[in-house]
Structure 1
Amino acid sequence: MSRLWIVPLLALSVAAAWLFGPTEAVPGQLPGVAAWRADARHLPDPATATPAQVAAFFATLPAGPAAALAGEYPSVVGNLDGAPLALRYAANRDPAFAGRQILALDRRGDGRIVEVLGDLATADRVAVLIPGVDNTLADFDTGLGGIERRAPAWQARQLFQQTGEKVAVVAWLGYDPPEGVRRAALREDRAASGALALERFVAGLVADRPDRQITVVGHSYGSIVAGRAAAHLPAQVTDIVALGSPGLGVTARAELGGSARIWAGSAPDDWTRRLPSVRVFGLGHGRLPVDPAFGALPLPAADVSGHDGYFLSGTSTLRAIARIAADRTTSPEQPAASSF
């Protein structure tokens, strides 16, 4: 197809998506928040208190009163960044996730869930996986369309098995991804709100562990969330990995800001490779990060097939992410692909 047709076709696609794409259903505040704010104990406001302030508040409470508070307000404490891990795990106990470490759980709308693999209390390295479009609480374990390799929980287990006990791995569905490749997916509204949630979550990870090193891995639209947050993430976030990314909202790595190394990998037949590198009137996501002109470090992906095969066992991509998350022996000056 001639390049002359790309812009008109994109314009028609954008117009159709803009007119007929769904809008986001915004749920109200978590159950219990109003009572929490009215509590005479002057509890930290979930919307305005920083994770560090939340951590400092709970540090003043004896174990008994803290546990009682979590029992009284499970939805609030269970989703409160900065609150003690044990309290959040206990507050989020649910028969559907029996025996698992659920760090956040919200069943409103499409749902939110954050699961931890490994010992987050002692881990000095953490990998946070951010999924892309169409992921919901309902398919967190099973994957979109019942395809296991698409499931955020399964992907996190794959990475955890590769890294072993050295790294705590977090499956972070802490935002509301777009439904399909429609209006919301062409825009970055969901990514912007997701980035704010990611920033708070990461701030909670380092509130009492400033020595931690964190790797953020964004797949597809999830990479846009990571890109939007990059300039505001703490220095403990040493690496951001973009997998099958449609763009990070900018034309070059330098425009992202932040100190983290940016890695990008895309399967040879990943459909995102065919997307035009444009961003017009808030639509589109800019230059693909796998384009050498973007300036990201190349992540191996030649042996990956399709848009959702990056976490399959044995792929060079999975091995590379595990190495990045586990150590920093690969320097930006080294040829990245050959170093894995």
Structure 2
Amino acid sequence: MTVLAASGWITSGEPAAPDPRSQRLAAWHRDSIGGAELPSLASSPERIASFFASMGHRKWMLLAERHPEVVGNLDGVPVEVRYAANRHSLARARQEERERIDDERLSAAGRHHAGRLANRYASLLGEDRQILSFDPSGTGRAAEVLGDLDTAHRISVVVPGVDTDLLTFERTRMRYRSPVGMAEALHTEQTAVAPELPSAVIAWADYTTPRGVGVSAATGELAAEGADRLVRAVEGLPGDAPVALFCHSYGSVVCGLAAERLPDRVTDIVVAGSPGMRVSRADRLGTDARVWATRAIGDWIRDVPHLAVGPIGHGTDPVHPSFGALHVASGSARGHTGYFEPGSDSLRNFARIGTGLFTTVTGLRGAPLCTPETPVGQPA
């Protein structure tokens, strides 16, 4: 017998069932609406947005119900449609896991894992949740929006690092170490520092992250795939509000690889606890965005060799003066995961960057770090 440890299933040699994801994609390609063929999933977010703009609300919601797994993860689809589609997907996934909890074909570990996933999906189905993407395959991916993307004057995107999956997407304990907790803290702080400015924050965990700090975390393979997804995600955002990226740990590798291809609306890239951005200097990222970097007291990332030998390593330490980033004060933040803790200097500075209050962002000596016109790597 073959034991499928990842899911807890035990099989006895029966032919494998058709891949559900492949079936869903094939169903999308076979379908049409109002006589019009549905666009290829390889279409640009601009093309997807144009297709949905040609239809009315009723057809939007019909597609969300028919093809939730596709529509909920398709960059360029109106966000309200993606939220609705992902509610359908989450409800289906929760029901499937609830059935697995009592399935005697599962190992005890498999049933326990099913229970944890069912609880996570129930939480994400909360009435006030705005789930921008959801994919339960593998270890899972997700993104959530705090605020209103359609009316926001500024948008912040939190890009997390290693060991991020559906079960760590949010936490009860150590809340602000999770993508959702980071985004909640940033959104609350942005509202506090600029209450008159509508802003939105995205907890963007829509890429497959390395497990632990092994070989996959020391290379850029998963980051490259994440960078492709991040570029499309930003291209698919509604409106034209400026966007700031807040890239933690391995997430800064993702942001570094994405930088050159990001839309011009990305005005700021902030890295915290970074192992490197796959370049030796900020001006080699190929972006006009301001690049900011910070590292907290006691962050173990400082002891990771900042080098690049072939595929191993991510290059120069972004807080080193030679890199040329604007060095943001982290102050009271502690350790590798404390940057988004409420009350920390790092979070306060992040919120100022996210809301465009650049002249109030503080450097290592507590002085203002730059002006809105400051080019990359040129302190005030």
Which band: TM-score by shorter chain?
0.7 to 0.9
1:194 aligns with 2:226: yes
1:268 Cα shift?
2.3
Residue pair 2:176, 2:185 contacting (<8 A) in 1 also: no
Quote the Cα distance in structure 2 between the aligned partners of 1:331 and 1:196: 33
After superposition, give the CA deviation of every residue in 1:194-230 in whole Å (9 maximum; x if it has no partner): 000000000011xx413x1000010000011111100
Match of 2:257 among 213, 219, 228: 228
Quote the Cα distance in structure 2 between the aligned partners of 1:336 and 1:175: 36
Q: Percent identity?
A: 42
Residue 335 to residue 307, structure 1, CA distance change in 2 (3 Å): closer
The answer for the alignment partner of 2:112 in structure 1 is none
The worse-fitting range, judged by mean Cα deviation, of 154-163 and 320-329 is 320-329
Residue pair 2:151, 2:198 contacting (<8 A) in 1 also: no
1:330 Cα shift?
2.9
Residue pair 1:31, 1:75 contacting (<8 A) in 2 also: no
Match of 1:172 among 204, 214, 217: 204
Q: Return the letter of the residue paired with 1:318.
A: L
Residue pair 1:299, 1:337 contacting (<8 A) in 2 also: no
Q: Return the letter of the residue paired with 1:38.
A: R
The answer for the alignment partner of 1:158 in structure 2 is 185
1:96 Cα shift?
3.1
Match of 2:59 among 44, 65, 68: 65
After superposition, give the CA deviation of every residue in 1:143-193 in whole Å (9 maximum; x if it has no partner): 7xx532311111111111101163100000010110000111010001000
Question: What aligned pairs does 1:180-329 form with structure 2 within 5 A after superposition?
Answer: 180-205=212-237, 208-210=238-240, 212-329=241-358
Quote the Cα distance in structure 2 between the aligned partners of 1:299 and 1:170: 21
Q: Which has the larger radius of gyration?
A: 2
1:124 Cα shift?
1.9
Residue 329 to residue 131, structure 1, CA distance change in 2 (3 Å): closer
The answer for the alignment partner of 2:174 in structure 1 is 147
Any gaps of 5 or more consecutive residues in structure 1? 1-26
Residue 64 to residue 239, structure 1, CA distance change in 2 (3 Å): same
1:69 Cα shift?
1.1
The answer for the alignment partner of 1:88 in structure 2 is 82
1:52 aligns with 2:46: yes
The answer for the alignment partner of 1:122 in structure 2 is 151
After superposition, give the CA deviation of every residue in 1:37-93 in whole Å (9 maximum; x if it has no partner): 1224321112x1011100000001121122111110001001111001111111111
After superposition, give the CA deviation of every residue in 1:268-315 in whole Å (9 maximum; x if it has no partner): 211111122210011001011000110000111132110000011111
CA RMSD of aligned residues (A): 2.0
The worse-fitting range, judged by mean Cα deviation, of 114-123 and 63-72 is 63-72
1:329 Cα shift?
3.8
Residue 260 to residue 28, structure 1, CA distance change in 2 (3 Å): farther
Structure of higher RCO (CA pairs closer than 8 Å, 6+ residues apart): 1
Match of 2:25 among 11, 14, 33: 33
**What is the TM-score with the length of structure 1 in the denominator?**
0.86
Paired residues, number? 307
Quote the Cα distance in structure 2 between the aligned partners of 1:56 and 1:109: 31
Residue pair 1:298, 1:337 contacting (<8 A) in 2 also: no
Quote the Cα distance in structure 2 between the aligned partners of 1:197 and 1:336: 37
Quote the Cα distance in structure 2 between the aligned partners of 1:58 and 1:35: 18
1:120 Cα shift?
1.0
Q: SS of 2:335's equivalent?
A: coil
Any gaps of 5 or more consecutive residues in structure 2? 1-18, 91-121, 192-196, 370-380
